[in-house]
Amino acid sequence: MTFCLNHFFENLISFFCWLYIHLVAITSTIKVVGSQKDTDFLKQKKPFIYAFWHNRQFFLTYLRKNIPVHVLVSQSKDGEYITRTMKYFGLKTVRGSSSKGGVSALIQLIRLLRSGHILGITPDGPRGPAREVQPGIIHLAQKTGYPIIPISYDARRKKVFKSWDEFIVPYPFNQIVYSVGEPILINKEENITASAVRIKNAINEVSNMGTLVLYEK
C-alpha cells in the first residue's frame, strides 16, 4: 500500500512539473543563440554528448523535448522525480552517478554512444561541487571519441533556490534564451585536469552567452 501511494505521489509531482514547464514555455518568448552544430549532428544522426550544469536542467527538458536523448540521472529520490518528468517530454534516462551505480552507468553510456545515441550529462551532478567538472564525462568522451556540446539557458525572471547548485526555475510570461556552444573533442592522451578546465570554461561561456543576450540593449 505504501509503495502504491509513493508511486502515485511521484507521478503526481512529476506531472505537475511537466504542466508547469509547459505553462512557462507557452507564455514565454524563447530565443536560440550560438552554434547550430547539435542540430547538424541530429540531422546527420551523429552521436554526441550534451553537457550542462546541474542547476540549468529544469527547462532544458522542454528545450530538448522529443529528441532521442538519454540523460544521466542519479539514483536518488530527486532523481526519480526528474526521471518521471523527463519521460513526459519523450526523454530517456540512465540511472547512476559518481556516488552510486557509476561504473554500470558509464558502461551503459558508452554502449549507447557507440550505438548512435545522444547523451545528456550534468558534469557537476548529482552533489557538486557546483560548476566543477567531474571526470566521468571526460572518460566517456575519451573512450568513444565523440564530441561534447555545451548547452545552457537563462531567463529574465526566475527563482534561484538556495540549494548547493543554486537551482534555477523560470517563471511564466518570460523571456528565455537557449544557448549552444561549439563541439569539444577530448583527445585520449589529454590530461584529465586540463580537459575538466576546458569543459568548465565552455559551459560557463555558453551560460554567460545566454545571460548577455537577455540583458543586451
String of DSSP letters for 150-198: EEEEEESSEEE-SSTT--EEEPSS-EEEEEE---B---TTS-HHHHHHH
Let me know: does 118 contact 47? Beta carbons within 8 Å: yes
What is the distance of C-alpha 71 from the center of its chain?
A: 7
Nearest Cα to 94, choosing from 154, 54, 19, 110?
110
What tens digit of pLDDT does each residue of 88-126 get?
999 999 987 655 556 788 899 999 999 999 999 999 978
What tens digit of pLDDT does each residue of 9-45 get?
778 888 999 999 999 999 999 999 999 899 999 999 9
Q: Quote the pTM value.
A: 0.92
CATH topology of domain 2-215: Glycerol-3-phosphate (1)-acyltransferase (3.40.1130)
What tens digit of pLDDT does each residue of 129-167 get?
999 999 999 999 999 999 999 999 999 999 999 999 999
